[in-house]
Amino acid sequence: MEKVIELLNRMQAEGVIENFAIGGGIAAIYYLEPYNTDDIDVFISPVVVSQGGLVSFGRIYTYLQDLGYHAEREYIRIEDWLVQFLPAAEPVQEEAVAQAKRVKFAEGHTLIFSLEHLAAELLRSGRPKDHSRVVALLESDQMEMKVFRDIIRRNDLDEKWRAFASRFDQEV
Amino acid sequence: MSSEPFDPDKIRIADIFRAKEQRRKELAKLPFEKKIEIVKRLQTLASKIQRVKKRCAEEAK
């Protein structure tokens, strides 16, 4: 993963991407116990969306292809990892990128969603596996509930949180 | 888990779940680099299992 981190930092330094943060499974593993996942979700911001709703990742793909890394479906393989670039299109994702946590990895640093933003984004996403990770994050005793509740409120996720809390026996 | 000597005939259900929770918390405290090493090992194992499963399916045809 060192190579991926090195490349992301290089892309940011060279202006290929402006802001980024790792979310998804790898971010969850930063806070929880390790489990199997084979991709790295990299959220980027700002995102330029065309009138037709299309997002262009052309610059990123060209940059990486010039370095010898090729696309595999919606991913780009960098060494052993499948990296997916995702637009931080939802307000909670945008906020998660803007307020990402700087974490050390090997000789470098990278940016990862904060625990509270990760939980809020997983709650928004709402697939069963996302919900099970929210439960694990809540049970990890690392979550600052006031920060989490503020994120929920700012990003109009109250309804999803109430439904989740009632289903998983959490205090609203 | 209790600090009493382990007796396989006197296991409390609550202790089993407490121990699992404890183990998860210990794993969560590992350094990020170590966790990624574990993920890489899990990926290798998963890919080996996939290959064997595919071979078995082909042989069964």
What pTM value is reported for the model? 0.88
Half-sphere exposure of B54 (CA within 13 A, CB side): 6
Record: contact A34-B39, CB cut-off 8 A: yes
Instruction: Please state, as a whole number, how many other Cβ atoms lie within 10 Å of the Cβ of residue A18.
Output: 12
The 10s digit of each residue's pLDDT in A29-84 is 999 999 999 899 999 998 776 677 777 788 899 999 999 999 998 899 998 899 99
User: What pLDDT score does B21 carry?
Assistant: 87
A105 — contact with chain B (CB < 8 Å)?
Answer: yes
The mean per-residue pLDDT over the stretch A131-156 comes to 95
The 10s digit of each residue's pLDDT in B10-53 is 888 888 888 888 898 999 999 999 999 999 999 999 999 999 99
pLDDT at B3 over 70: no
Q: Does the ipTM surpass 0.90?
A: no
User: What pLDDT score does B6 carry?
Assistant: 74
Give how far A56 is from chain B: nearest CA, Å: 30
Q: Where are the alpha helices (DSSP H) in B1-61?
A: 13-28, 32-60
- CA–CA distance, A42 with A88 (Å, rounded to integer): 9
Looking at chain A, which residue has its C-alpha nearest residue B35? Answer: A34
Q: Residues in chain B whose beta carbon is closer than 8 A to a beta carbon of chain A?
A: 21, 23-25, 27-28, 30, 32-33, 35-36, 38-40, 42-43, 46
Q: Where are the alpha helices (DSSP H) in chain A?
A: 2-13, 24-31, 58-66, 91-98, 115-125, 128-139, 145-154, 158-167
- For residue A140, give the nearest of B28, B30, B39 by CB distance: B28
The mean per-residue pLDDT over the stretch A154-172 comes to 91
User: What pLDDT score does A133 carry?
Assistant: 95
